Chains A and B, each alone.
Chain A
Amino acid sequence: MLKYIIRRILEAIPTLLGVTVISFVLIHIVPGNPVRILLGNHYTLERAAALSRSLGLNKPLWEQYFIWLGHILVGNFGYSYVYNKSVVNMILTALPHTLAIVVISVMAAHLFAIFLGSVQAYYQNTIFDQVVTVINYFLYSMPSFWLGLLLVIFFAIDIKWFPSGGIVNQNAHIGFLNWLHHIVLPVASLFLISVAGWARYMRSSMREALLQDYVRTARMKGATEFRVVFVHALRNSVLPLITMLGLSLPVLVAGALFVEEIFNYPGMGLLYWNAISNRDYPIIMAVTVFLGVVTVLGNLLADILYGIIDPRIRYR
């Protein structure tokens, strides 16, 4: 198992390098010169040349890339052009915020989707199943930013139960409850959109499982319906969802971008969004590398979890 994990990580290195090369080239060829953006109307050729020199942007692109690569290999992701702050510190400040809403929403969505999908499969083709399916399709097709706005309009503006954005109320005692109060709507946005897709997968997976011989055997042995569904069938039907959990991590981190922007939530999404707007290359590249690593680890995690749940799978 350990050998397998190490091999997978080593195999991921060329992939990650490829990602960094493509990203580096792409962000540099996209129109919008960071020097011009930073200088605004203070732009002069002399100032631009000086700033380009100090940021290292006057060198050929390939050279810039290798300098950057050399730095990140020793853990130096540089300084933000806009904030003059260490990129690593900025990411370490933003990451916990994103992880909080992503982890909470993923866990909650997974558990709820497993339950909902299982119940739907058990009561397939009933009114209940059809109503839930319609709602799921509706949520699944809804853009996260739009759902976020709807939640803001209803819960923050109309009934004023939750704040419309931010992470802390400066007028309140700053504490856990204050923070929790602020993350309810962002988490709800991610939860609702995630649960819709996963419940659909779970439903079809559970439907297949319920038709298997071992389920029929369990019933013949006199197992309760609850035990049949949530013990015997669940273990096999949950496999696709486990795979999706790993694969959806990077998507969720990136998807949090829109939600964070709507709710002014100071996580990785907002950091990335602002960096792209300002062509803040060091942050863009650092977040890209981070997402690449999360994707690789997500895949690896999915494979490992798959093996834990399905003893037929062996790692070589």
Chain B
Amino acid sequence: MKLAKSGMVTIAMAASITMLVAGCGNSTSNNSTNSPGGNTTATNTSGNSTGSSQTPTSGGTINLALPPQTNLNWFLPLMNAASDSIYNTQLVDQLYKPLLWINNDYSINWQSSIANKITYNSAGTVYHVFLNPKWTWSDGTPVTSKDVLFTWNVIKAASAKNAPSPWPFVGAGTGNIPDGIKSVVATSPTEVTITLDKPANQQWFIYNGIIQLTPMPAHAWDTKPNMTSEIKYLGSNATNLMFDSVVDGPFKPVSATSSQSWVIAPNPNYAGHKSLVNKIIFTYEGSNASELAALKSGALNVGGLDQSQLGEKSALTSQGDKITPGYSFGIFWTEMNMWPGSPTKAIFDQAYVRQALQMGIDNQGAAQDIFKGYAVPLFGPIPSTPKTQFFDPNLQNPYPFDINKGKQLLESHGWKDVNGVMTKGSQKLKFTMMYVSGITSSTDQAELMKQDWAQEGVDVTLKPVPFSTFISVTSNPKDTSWGLATGSGWDYNGPGFYPTGGQLFATGAPSGTGFSDPKEDALIQATHVPYATQQETMQHFFQYEDYTAKALPFLWGLNVASLTVTAPTVHNVNKYADTATAFPQMQYWWVSSN
């Protein structure tokens, strides 16, 4: 999971709104069936999709912009917490096939996964991961269970609290990794059996635990006498792209220069859909302005357009560029300081106050006026866009924008308007709200909230701060200098992908802001236990989702689109952007001569 900043440019990949499909590539769907003996089997069906009418041609270069001031600095499939960024993962995913690839709808894409099947028992304690025998390393060696086992052994060693720097492994503590796992055994060259200490919800463990076991080339990297030396060796080479000489992904490394570019070229021995381009260059950009200039001059053919630069849209479209919005599978919010010791805790602990505040936020208006329609309002812990199985189709916005209703709600609980500020005894609805400085849209959003809340009798003083300050202050339970903070959020994209809110909404959640509710805790816990059927799993998930939407541990905001700019000569970028996870399948991108 990656912290996201509202309005921040994410990488220039966006999911195509109209998923035009065509003769290249497959779309897959995920089916779960109950098999005899209490085992459930997850398999896939593949269907041809339709899309670009042009026939792909080989050659050409993709010049892809990284977001401003983003350096790539880690090139192993297993990352430490400080390096686990979307952008490092984007590159690494082109070199190393994940055990499980997540589609844009958050189903598993078995075509693009090393695994082709996972079976499990009804107790949720034993899992059999079957590897697709087609996968090979770039040197011709098959990808086998030995490689998964090597990954597991590295994870175990690198997850230790005293693991040598730059470890520990970021996934430690997510999805039962590593402490909840009793054993990982290579049952055959193409099968790995994982046994848990305790039962777990099968989908939860697949999406949060098993997904982390990206195979690494044991025959190339497992060279040290013990695991301590091994993880030191891997850690010391993690920042060196050229260390990745044996890969199983569609690309292999070519060169890396900090603050300049990272270049990859097709892996001729890739067992899946081979890339047709000559190379892909991940280009460093110092600022939004320099990225825009490079897009206009043609130096870049894939990049991002910041929301604040929408005025430049016609300059790009007039030269044939296409601008496409894409939505991450994430949530964005306004935080309320409910940490013990905060003077605002007693106020925000009242559910009706949170509800009144939510009713005073005009997300729909902000989406239209500030983001020109390139944003989708949120009203719960799961976004409605992109469409996934995790969004409850029956969930309606529990607190639509209605200032009068919000004000009445407060008055019905004894609050009175005194000189424009709602007052109850010694308490006043008067708060300092931090927002992220330097982004026009963030400022506009904060101003709009302030104005609307003022009509409810909520007096907000705005405090712009840099993002680094913002996250430092809001994550410090002892900092009482703020009451509200808007401009951050959460993407459900690794190391765990299953979107339950344990890290966000549970009591004492590491990324929470002090919210505590026993029922919320129980519902989150209920999503972690095994169920006999997928239907039952989803039933509990929706209960958690619906309750969280209404409980308002955070005030729901907007899922703002990232805007991808693609030159007319570049194809399939949006179709294979997978913006929900932000991890695109670049092997399908191609370049035409005109």
Q: Do A and B bind each other?
A: yes
On chain A, the residues within 8 Å of B71 by CB distance are 82-83, 274
Contact A43 B475 (CB under 8 A): yes
> What residues of chain A lie closer than 8 Å to B468, measured between beta carbons?
31-33, 36-37, 277-279
Chain A 46-85: CB-based contact to B (< 8 A → 1; otherwise 0): 1100110010000000000000000000000000011111
Task: Please give me the residue from chain A that is nearest to B2 by CB atom.
Answer: A41
Cβ-defined partner of B290 (8 Å) among A40, A84, A164: A164
Minimum C-beta distance from A316 to chain B (A): 46
A93 to B238 alpha-carbon distance, docked (Å): 19
Q: Report A156-189 CB contacts with B as 1/0, cut-off 8 Å.
A: 1100100111111011000000000000000000
Q: Mark B135-166, 1 if CB is under 8 A from A, else 0.
A: 00000000000000000000000000100011
Contact flag A37-B259 (CB < 8 Å), given A171-B61, A263-B290: no
Chain B 1-24: CB-based contact to A (< 8 A → 1; otherwise 0): 111000000000000000000000
| Interface stretch of the complex, out of A1-9, A231-239, A264-272 | A264-272
Per the bound structure, the CA–CA distance linking A47 and B263 in Å amounts to 32
Of B168, B173, B297, the residue contacting A164 (CB under 8 A) is: B297
**B589: chain A residues within 8 A (beta carbon):** none
Bound Cα distance A152, B294 (Å):
9
Asked whether any CB of chain B lies closer than 8 Å to the CB of A90, the reply is: yes
- Are B81 and A42 in contact (CB-based, < 8 A)? yes
A279 to B73, CA, bound (A): 16
Among candidates B281, B289, B298, residue contacting A149 with C-beta atoms closer than 8 Å: B289
| Cα distance A264–B281 in the bound complex, in angstroms | 15
Tell me whether A43 and B510 are in contact (CB under 8 A): yes
Q: Does B439 contact A (CB under 8 A)?
A: no
Residues of A in contact, count (CB < 8 Å): 53
- A41 touching B3 by the CB < 8 A rule? yes
Which residues 69-92 of B sit at the A interface, judged by CB distance below 8 A?
69, 71, 73, 81-82, 84-85
Cβ of A195 to closest chain B Cβ, rounded Å: 24
Cα separation A264 to B261 with both chains bound (whole Å): 11
Chain B, interface residues (CB within 8 Å), range: 35 or more
Chain B residues whose CB sits within 8 angstroms of the CB of A131 once the complex forms:
none
Name the distance in Å between B496's Cβ and chain A's nearest Cβ.
11
Say whether, besides A31-B465, A163-B299, A167-B260, A43 and B82 are in contact (CB < 8 Å): no
Q: Does A38 contact B (CB under 8 A)?
A: yes
Q: In the complex, what residues of B have CB within 8 A of residue A81's CB?
A: 82
Q: Is B426 in the interface zone, CB < 8 Å from A? A: no
A54, closest chain B residue (CB):
B165
| Interface pair B511/A31, CB less than 8 Å apart | no
Complex: chain A residue closest to B261, CB-CB: A170
**B160 → chain A, closest Cβ, in Å?**
11
A93 contacts B258, CB within 8 Å? yes
Smallest CB separation, A148 vs chain B (Å): 9
Known: A31-B465, A50-B168, A171-B61. A36 touches B81 (CB 8 A): no
* Inter-subunit contact A156/B297 (CB<8 Å): yes
Asked if A45 is at the interface (CB within 8 A of a chain B CB), the reply is yes
**Distance to closest chain A CB from B33 (angstroms):** 36
* Contact residues of B between 202 and 253, Cβ < 8 Å to A: 238-239
CB distance from B374 to the nearest CB of A (A): 23
Q: Determine the chain A residues whose CB is within 8 A of the CB of B466 once the complex forms.
A: 31-32
Q: CA A90 – CA B299 in complex, angstroms?
A: 26
Given A32-B472, A274-B71, A165 contacting B259 (CB threshold 8 A)? no
Determine how close the nearest CB of chain A comes to the CB of B363; give it in whole angstroms: 22
**Which residue from B258, B279, B285, B475 sits with its C-beta under 8 Å from A83?**
B258
Q: Give Cα A36–Cα B472 distance, bound, in whole angstroms.
A: 6
Chain B residues, Cβ within 8 Å of A277: 69, 468
Q: Which of B280-319 contact A (CB under 8 A)?
A: 281, 283-287, 289-290, 293-294, 296-299
The residue that A264 contacts in the complex, of B61, B168, B284, B465, with Cβ under 8 A, is B284
**Given that A40-B2, A43-B475, A262-B286 are known contacts, is A84 also in contact with B258, CB under 8 Å in the complex?**
no
Is B473 an interface residue, CB under 8 A from the partner?
yes
* Interface check A273, CB cutoff 8 A: yes
Q: Which residues of B contact A45 (CB under 8 A)?
A: 510
A residues less than 8 Å from B85 (CB atoms): 40
Query: For the complex, is A15 an interface residue (Cβ under 8 Å from B)?
Result: no
> Whole-angstrom distance between the alpha carbons of A165 and B63 in the complex?
13
A217 interfacial by beta-carbon distance below 8 Å = no
Which B residue's beta carbon lies closest to that of A267?
A: B259
Q: Is the CB of B469 within 8 A of A31?
A: yes
Does A39 sit at the interface, judged by CB under 8 A?
A: yes
**Is the pair B293, A152 in contact by a Cβ cutoff of 8 Å?**
yes
Residue of A nearest to B74 (CB): A84
Q: Are B69 and A39 in contact (CB under 8 A)?
A: no
Evaluate contact between A165 and B82: CB separation under 8 angstroms.
no
- Confirm or deny: B257 has a beta carbon within 8 angstroms of a beta carbon on chain A: yes
B490 interface residue (CB < 8 Å to A): yes
Task: Tell me how far the C-beta of B402 lies from the nearest C-beta in chain A, rounded to whole angstroms.
Answer: 32
A199 to B507: give the CA distance in the assembly, Å.
Answer: 67
Question: How long is the Cα–Cα vector from A147 to B76 in the complex, in angstroms?
Answer: 41
| Choice from B84, B238, B294 contacting A42 with Cβ under 8 Å | B84
A201–B73 alpha-carbon span in the complex (Å): 46
B510: nearest chain-A partner, CB-CB: A44
The yes or no answer to A313 lying at the interface (CB within 8 A) is no
A31 to B281, alpha carbons, bound, how many Å? 35
Counting CB contacts under 8 A, is B471 at the interface? Answer: yes
Please judge, given known A-B contacts A36-B471, A40-B3, A84-B73, whether A166 and B299 are in contact too, CB under 8 Å: yes
Instruction: Determine whether the beta carbon of A170 is less than 8 Å from that of B69.
Output: no
Is B170 an interface residue when CB atoms closer than 8 A count as contact? yes
Residue-wise, chain B 407-443 has the 8 Å CB interface mask toward A (1 for contact) of: 0000000000000000000000000000000000000
Q: Name the residue on B nearest A270 (C-beta).
A: B259
Q: Is the CB of A84 within 8 A of B166?
A: yes
Known A42-B170, A84-B166, A262-B287; judge A156-B81 contact (CB<8 A): no
Instruction: List B contacts of A46 (CB < 8 A).
Output: 161
Bound Cα distance from A165 to B166, whole angstroms: 33
- Cross-chain contact of B294 among A37, A44, A50, A164 (Cβ < 8 A): A164
Asked if A266 and B257 make an inter-chain contact with CB atoms under 8 angstroms apart, the answer reads yes
Complex CA distance for A86 and B354, rounded to whole angstroms: 48
A92 within 8 Å of B by Cβ? no
Whether B286 contacts A260 by the Cβ 8 Å rule is yes
Contact indicator B286/A157 (Cβ below 8 Å): no
Q: A94-B259, A170-B263 are in contact. List 17 more A-B contacts (CB 8 A).
A: A31-B468, A37-B468, A38-B81, A39-B82, A41-B490, A46-B161, A50-B161, A85-B258, A152-B293, A157-B296, A163-B299, A164-B293, A166-B299, A262-B289, A264-B260, A264-B283, A264-B285
Could you give 8 example pairs across A and B, Cβ below 8 Å? A43-B511, A51-B81, A84-B239, A165-B286, A263-B290, A266-B260, A270-B286, A273-B69
Which A residues are closer than 8 A to B by beta carbons? 31-33, 36-47, 50-51, 54, 81-85, 90, 93-94, 149, 152-153, 156-157, 160, 163-168, 170-171, 260-264, 266, 270-271, 273-274, 277-279
What 7 pairs across the A-B complex have the smallest Cβ distances?
A41-B3, A32-B468, A38-B82, A42-B81, A266-B259, A31-B469, A164-B293
